[in-house]
């Protein structure tokens, strides 16, 4: 006979109260355990979001003007560096193609030329454009919509059976009219064209006056910028009967605080940033007699040596000849005398990352 | 038969269950759960493309001129709008061209100070997955004779809202 309240250690029975309590506890424990493990599944991600990286890369290309270090600070004109030189490539910190910080989707022709010239290595593109530790593979291509000209794509071939992140942007390209820019080939039709009049001439020099504030008055989308594009001056209408020689070129600038510089271009300049074409053939420094025309090109890297030269200053380029060439004392280099700026050209940019 | 014995384990079990569930609830309600929104990336790409295309159409190609978009809306030229817009959104670099379609509507403030909307140019829309992009377009010296069906459009400088529904065919 059992005595109530006394636990019987020999019969191996659990009380009903214990069973019920234990059951309730186990049901609640299992419910909580299943719920918590379901929450943690979503927090672990094994895939990289390539679309996000492609979008970010496209934003840097299309909306950012880039960033580079120069000797006296930093600048967005990274395209003025000589990219065949390893040190100058290292100065470029970020690659962006826009003309300026507030002008998204308007790309600079010079930056595009430099970007697609293939002078950066794959690792450098990753370091200066894509960022991050993962070695992304990429393919960036730009094509003009109207002329259907495609710039040679940068990066690897597009994979056919791997998924990739993708972004397409529509942009407009601003072309240059003042000069050929830092490295592009010299083209006819850029810059200022002057007709010499040897017969009626009474001075032996051609003096070209460039007032930079006049250029900077214009909206940046439609601006001609001699400081970044360079200067090109073509003097034509010479004749084979009366050939002339270009003896020297003087260049000077003054700013509104009367600081300035004035130099005669020397051999060192002709070897690096100044080019002269006599009758269409390169001749720097100029030695041959001119029988038809002469073109003088000053690349924008030349202006970089002058710390104080900026858009508020005035530049003067004087071409000295050995006989009379004109009766006009000063030639203006401004929006009226230069050719019309070409229209903005629409283009499409595609970025693929995998 | 109610007695006061044999209930201690049940009460303990119930108390432990309540404690666990309340704790789990507090933990869950205070964390934010990050979910991957894969389906929305396609929408974002389309939306960015549409915005880019409208912004570039609304940029004048040379100084002092009207943009292509403003000129097309000013003279009700739906052909120029269609050709330019589709050229831009269907453009490609290396792979083949895409087929995008769109519906464009314009909303304006009428001469009686109401907001009216009309369809500018549209393709049949069979409820594909679409995004809507919009742009305010400034129309200088607008002349309402180009829109005979919208008789209450005002003349003169005004800004209209252009909304474009864009989808991949």
Q: Give residue-wise pLDDT tens across range A241-297.
A: 888 888 889 998 888 787 888 888 888 888 888 899 988 888 888 888 888 889 999
Q: Is the pLDDT of residue A334 over 80?
A: yes
Share of chain B above pLDDT 70, in %: 91
Q: Is the pLDDT of residue A60 over 90?
A: yes
Average pLDDT over chain A, rounded to an integer: 87
Hey, are the CB atoms on A4 and B62 less than 8 Å from each other? no
**Which of A13, A17, A174, A214 to mutate against chain B (most B CBs within 10 Å)?**
A17
Q: Is B11 on the interface with A (CB under 8 A)?
A: yes
Tell me what pLDDT residue A45 has: 60
Q: Pick from A24, A42, A139: which is nearest to B17 by CB? A: A24
DSSP structural state of residue A336: T
For residue A146, give the chain B residue with the closest CA: B87
ipTM of this complex: 0.78
pTM of the full predicted structure? 0.81
Share of chain A above pLDDT 90, in %: 32
Nearest to B44, CA basis, from A43, A97, A56: A56
For the residues A47-68, what does the mean pLDDT come to?
91
Q: Is the pLDDT of residue A94 over 60?
A: yes
For residue B5, give the chain A residue with the closest CA: A5
Tell me what pLDDT residue B1 has: 47
Tell me what pLDDT residue A2 has: 57
CB atoms within 10 A of CB A195: 11
Residues of A in contact with B6 (CB under 8 A): 15-17
For the residues A141-149, what does the mean pLDDT come to?
90
Hey, are the CB atoms on B52 and A16 less than 8 Å from each other? no
Give the helix/strand (H/E) hosting A111: helix A109-116
Q: Give residue-wise pLDDT tens across range A206-227.
A: 999 999 998 888 888 999 989 8
Tell me what pLDDT residue A37 has: 79
Residues of B in contact with A141 (CB under 8 A): 93-94
Using CA atoms, how far apart are residues B34 and B37, in angstroms rounded to an integer? 9
For the residues A91-103, what does the mean pLDDT come to?
92
Q: Is A281 exposed, middle or buried (0-12, 13-18, 19+ CB in 10 A)?
A: exposed
In this structure, what token pair is assigned to residue B163? 């909304």
The residue that leads in pLDDT, A82 or B166, is: B166
Q: Pick from A21, A170, A340: which is nearest to B13 by CB? A: A21
Hey, are the CB atoms on A343 and B62 less than 8 Å from each other? yes
Strands (E), chain A: 67-70, 73-75, 92-94, 106-108, 138-144, 154-155, 165-174, 192-195, 205-211, 231-236, 246-254, 260-264, 274-278, 281-282, 293-298, 314-321, 331-332, 345-353
Q: Pick from A35, A42, A340: which is nearest to B24 by CB? A: A35
Hey, are the CB atoms on B13 and A20 less than 8 Å from each other? yes
Per-residue CA distances from A68 to A74, A113, A133, A225, B131 (Å): 6, 17, 21, 19, 38
Q: Is the pLDDT of residue A19 over 80?
A: yes
């Amino acid at each position: 006979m059992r005595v109530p309240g006394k636990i019987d250690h020999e019969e191996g029975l659990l009380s009903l109260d214990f069973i019920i309590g234990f059951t309730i506890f186990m049901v609640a424990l299992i419910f909580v355990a299943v719920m918590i493990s379901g929450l943690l599944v979503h927090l672990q991600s094994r895939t990289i979001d390539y679309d996000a990286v492609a979008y970010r890369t496209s934003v840097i290309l299309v909306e950012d003007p880039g960033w580079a270090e120069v000797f006296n600070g930093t600048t967005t004109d990274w395209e003025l560096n000589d990219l065949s030189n390893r040190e100058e490539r290292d100065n470029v910190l970020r690659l962006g193609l826009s003309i300026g910080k507030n002008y998204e989707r308007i790309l600079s022709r010079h930056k595009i030329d430099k970007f697609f010239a293939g002078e950066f290595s794959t690792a450098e593109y990753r370091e200066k454009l894509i960022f991050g530790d993962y070695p992304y593979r990429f393919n960036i291509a730009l094509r003009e919509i109207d002329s259907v000209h495609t710039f040679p794509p940068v990066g690897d071939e597009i994979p056919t059976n791997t998924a990739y992140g993708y972004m397409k942007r529509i942009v407009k390209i601003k072309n240059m009219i003042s000069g050929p820019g830092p490295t592009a080939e010299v083209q006819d039709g850029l810059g200022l064209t002057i007709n010499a009049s040897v017969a009626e001439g009474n001075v032996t020099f051609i003096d070209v006056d460039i007032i930079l504030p006049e250029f900077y008055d214009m909206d940046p989308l439609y601006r001609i910028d001699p400081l970044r594009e360079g200067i090109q001056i073509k003097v034509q209408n010479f004749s084979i009967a009366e050939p002339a020689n270009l003896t020297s070129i003087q260049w000077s600038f003054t700013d509104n605080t009367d600081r300035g510089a004035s130099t005669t271009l020397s051999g060192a300049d002709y070897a690096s940033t100044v080019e002269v074409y006599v009758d269409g053939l390169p001749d720097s420094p100029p030695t041959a007699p001119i029988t038809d025309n002469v073109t003088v090109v000053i690349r924008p890297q030349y202006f970089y040596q002058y710390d104080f030269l900026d858009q508020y200053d005035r530049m003067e380029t004087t071409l000295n000849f050995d006989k009379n060439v004109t009766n006009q004392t000063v030639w203006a280099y401004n929006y009226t005398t230069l050719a019309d700026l070409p229209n903005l050209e629409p283009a499409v940019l595609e970025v693929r990352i995998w | 038969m109610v007695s006061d014995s044999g209930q201690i384990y049940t009460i303990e079990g119930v108390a432990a269950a309540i404690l666990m569930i309340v704790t789990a609830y507090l933990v869950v309600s205070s964390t934010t759960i990050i979910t991957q929104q894969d389906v929305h990336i396609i929408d974002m790409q389309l939306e960015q493309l549409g915005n880019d295309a409208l912004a570039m159409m609304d940029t004048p190609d040379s100084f002092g001129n009207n943009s292509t978009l403003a000129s097309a809306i000013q003279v009700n030229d739906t052909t120029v709008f269609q050709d330019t817009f589709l050229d831009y959104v269907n453009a490609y670099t290396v792979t083949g061209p895409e087929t995008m379609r769109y519906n464009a509507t314009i909303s304006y403030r009428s001469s009686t100070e109401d907001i009216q909307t009309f369809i500018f140019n549209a393709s049949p829309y069979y409820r594909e997955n679409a995004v809507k992009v919009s742009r305010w377009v400034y129309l200088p010296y607008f002349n309402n004779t180009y829109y005979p069906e919208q008789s209450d459009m005002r003349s003169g400088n005004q800004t209209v809202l252009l909304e474009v529904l864009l989808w991949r065919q």
